[in-house]
Amino acid sequence: MHTFTVWAPNASSVDVVLRDGVLPLHTADGGWWTREVVEAHHGTDYAFAVDGSDPLPDPRSPWQPDGVHGFSRVFDASRYQWSDDDWAGRDVRGSVFYELHIGTFTPEGTLHAAAEHLDYLVLLGVEVVSLMPVAAFPGRHGWGYDGVDLYAVHEPYGGPEALQRFVDRCHDVGLAVCLDVVYNHLGPSGNHLGSYGPYFTDRHTTPWGPAVNLDDTGSHEVRRFICDNALRWFRDFHIDALRLDAVHALVDDSPTHLLQQLSNETAALSEQLGRPLGLVAESDLNDPQMVDPVAEGGRGMTAQWNDDFHHALHTLLTGERSGYYEDFANPGVFAKALTQVFLHNGSYSSFRGRDWGRPVDPDRHRGGQFLAYTSDHDQIGNRALGDRPALTPGQYAIGAALVLTSPYTPMLFMGEEWGASTPWRYFTDHEEPELAEAVRTGRRREFAAFGWDAEEIPDPQDPETWRSSVLDWSELDESPHRELLTWYRDLLALRARTPELRDDSLGSVAVTEGPESLVISRGDLRIVVNLAAEPAEIGVDGVPAYALLAFGTAELMTEHVRLPGHGVAVVLVRVDPW
């Protein structure tokens, strides 16, 4: 037996369409429709017809075996036999994140295939597997940010039970799971929410069109749709944290912002389940209010991504100065991003043409509330060619050291730990010819404004664009990939056993910048960096006692460390040798 329910407040009639017949639903309070069907059970296919419409997927469909345009299928999440009773959860603040995309992490592109590499991630030193969106989206291949069935798991990845098995396996080997969810918009293909009710409003607009209705007529049930979705991932799939995409696009003038509501409800569920649950925001606002407690007027997020740190580090290593990197080319920028979180903390942003951000109070905030990274899916995939940074092995090693010895929560993007040569491009698989062409021409038009020839831009719809983005695991056995992987493993192991490197107090780090060098102080440790291509002697305060770790060689001298070009070392010093 199964009870079908759907919210359709403006409908005159709603039917549930089964493979062997059509049954009318009955009205219930608040615009809901419902019907108990004795013959329906786990695995039953169904759809809804609103006012005599063609069959439509359930807005809360738990399973879309035939894609986003097909029938929904009943999924009983309680059938899965979990083996993670001993899993106590993990506070994601200060934990090592590893962002991966199921469709390109392995050649198979499935959750099952990804699970075969979990032991590798444990050996690397990862603590949180951060999955890019798995909600059902159109076609077979895509980034996942154009999902339309937010309660379902993309069938080509394996479907809902495959996600349960994946999370169970992660917990078995000691890994937490963070899931990327997108509540600020839905994709253009297969989005049927507007046929059911006021899920969108023209009261606000976003880059994707009308905003999700968080504060207009009917918004109560839309907010419930989102919050129930988030809680379901925690409860039915044992997810440990959610990464909330582009929360600055969640336009909400309600007395209680959606993020505050979600924070409060997540905290209540965490108390009920007896394990920590996290909310990690992607925010463009540079506002520490995002991670302030709700009781203090904040949004209540556990942590947030810090693009300013990425931009400062990217500019430092690559010398790139165009677009939004322009403001990050000045002296002292990286030091500010490392010690004060945001470069733009009330300062003028030339890219935005206005003052931007607010300062982070080191007495109230911890570094662990902010994620630091050398790259992520956006910073690679949204480049014209989807190319990873063109760096020497030494520069990759420097980037890793500056992230993994920072006071922030570190995050790696899949493949960076061995300097993967594969790009990570923007790819789609739309069935509708007009939509496919719109995506193709829009992508080319966007980069033509920056001087790119249209023919140089990979076609998102070409299967080769997706295939070229799949990681090449054979590189692990090749030089210099092998040496870089060893460096990442050693750095992560050093971080795990060294209290000074896990201290997330913003006052626990200091920076000395030279023309082509950096010295980062963390207690009695010095992270010494030669940014130049030629060998250099770099001064440090105190007497270097020994090098805990070095990429290449590190010659210790009195108050100096000699490094090769693009060299980096973690050195223990005696500040007062007497």
Task: Check if 2-56 and 502-574 are the same fold.
Answer: yes
Active site (annotated) includes residue 86: no
The whole-angstrom separation of Cα 61 and Cα 33 is 15
Of 117, 115, 195, the C-alpha closest to 157 is 115
Q: Which residues are annotated as a binding site?
A: 243-248, 307-311, 377-382
Which pLDDT value is given to residue 318? 96
Which pLDDT value is given to residue 450? 78
The whole-angstrom separation of Cα 168 and Cα 173 is 9
CATH number of the structural domain 502-574: 2.60.40.1180
Which pLDDT value is given to residue 576? 65
DSSP letters along 387-419, please? PPP---HHHHHHHHHHHHTSSSEEEEETTGGGT
Inter-helix orientation angle 333-340/307-318, to 10°: 150
What's the 3-state SS for 286-322?
CCHHHHCCHHHCCCCCCEEECHHHHHHHHHHHHCCCC
Report mean pLDDT in 10-residue bins for the chain, 578 residues: 98 98 98 98 99 98 98 99 98 99 99 99 99 98 98 99 99 99 96 98 90 97 99 99 98 98 99 99 98 98 98 96 91 97 96 96 98 97 93 98 99 99 97 94 86 90 98 98 98 98 97 97 98 98 94 94 98 77
Q: Which of 58, 127, 236, 245 is catalytic?
A: 245
Residues 6+ positions from 32 with CB-CB distance below 8 Å: 5, 6, 7, 8
Rounded to a whole number of angstroms, the CA Rg of the chain reads 25
Give domain limits for the chain.
2-56, 97-492, 502-574
Q: What is the pTM of this model?
A: 0.97
Q: Which residues are annotated as a binding site for substrate?
A: 243-248, 307-311, 377-382
User: For residue range 44-53, what is the model confidence (pLDDT) as tens digits?
Assistant: 999 999 999 9
CATH architecture of 2-56: Sandwich (2.60)
Q: Which of 236, 282, 287, 292 is catalytic?
A: 282
Q: Which CATH entry fits the domain spanning 97-492: 3.20.20.80, 3.20.20.70, 2.40.420.20, 3.10.310.30?
A: 3.20.20.80
For the chain, the straight-line distance linking the first and the last C-alpha, in angstroms and rounded, comes to: 79
User: For residue range 436-478, what is the model confidence (pLDDT) as tens digits?
Assistant: 999 999 899 888 877 888 889 999 999 999 999 999 999 999 9
Peptide bond into 65 cis (omega under 30): no
User: For residue range 276-330, what is the model confidence (pLDDT) as tens digits?
Assistant: 999 999 999 999 999 999 999 999 999 999 999 999 999 999 999 988 899 999 9
Which pLDDT value is given to residue 152? 99
- 338-376 burial, b for 16+ CB within 10 Å, e for fewer? bbebbbbbeeebeeeeeebbeebebeebbbbbbbbbbbb
Active site (annotated) includes residue 483: no
